[in-house]
Amino acid sequence: MSDRGPELFEIRFLTNFPALGKVTNGSAQLMPTPFFPRALAAATVRYTGSRFDCEGITTDPQGNLYISEESKRDVFRSSPDGKKVDRLLIDLSSVKRFFSSDPNASFEGIAIGGGKLYLANERETPRVIVVDLPTLKVLDSFFVDSDGFAFGGPHYSDLAFADGHLFILDRNHRCILEVDPEQKRVLAEYSFGQMEVAEEVAYKTIYPTGTMEGLAIDPQYFWLVTDNNGLPRFKYPRDIRPTLFRCSRPAKR
């Protein structure tokens, strides 16, 4: 998914996909999906003359697709075939005090689990917003932080839900926080800092916050993807492509 528009692509891995490590050159390709930008545009008139800033993506058990849009703090739901798209009417007044005046500091991630929808208010006042999925009512919000230190505090740059837990990608601390969403406490912290700054993959950056902005989880792996804003890696100054990492998940305790 691009944060410059509503287009979605599927990553298909080819036969030479490596057993370990990052996805290497030529091992994957992007394929268009049936999620039609035209259907998304038809769901709202609020974007006339402006672009979509789509940041987060998730699905529900029925296969519906949900997308969080950052600049106007919207959530869209698409049918599995992409032909019907609705803008969800969520009353955010109870959490409005956490929102920044910066339109690029808000709904950076979305996840669904246990009948609830979770939204990541990214930074300045980072907050996880909890929404009851059937009624679209805001139930709660909470803040969690890394044990480490980073100027500017945590940046919630994506969310994922797995095994009954919420996982928060914190790009500023370069870690993933595993959170008990009921008790609102961090259960584990997984650092990827050394991997991100390794010589082979380290990117040039404008800000010192890290480049990871995408998180997905399956039973075996954490998947992380960079948003390097069109900047190259130090080692390869002509290569501006983002990098997808596949990281083995630690064994359950």
Tokens 């100054």, residue located: 237
* Confidence tier at 110 by pLDDT (50, 70, 90): very high
Rounded to an integer, the average pLDDT of 45-71 is 82
Ranked by mean pLDDT, the top range of 4-8, 19-23, 48-52, 230-234 is 230-234
pLDDT at 19 > cutoff 50 = no
Could you read off the pLDDT of 139-195 as tens digits, one per residue?
Answer: 999 999 999 999 999 999 999 999 999 999 999 999 999 999 999 999 999 999 999
One DSSP character per residue, 99-116 reads: --S-TTSSEEEEEEETTE
Distance from C-alpha of 154 to C-alpha of 175, rounded to nearest angstrom: 10
233: how many CB neighbours lie within 10 A of its CB?
Answer: 19
- Token pair listed for 99: 């929102």
Ranked by mean pLDDT, the top range of 72-76, 80-84, 188-192 is 188-192
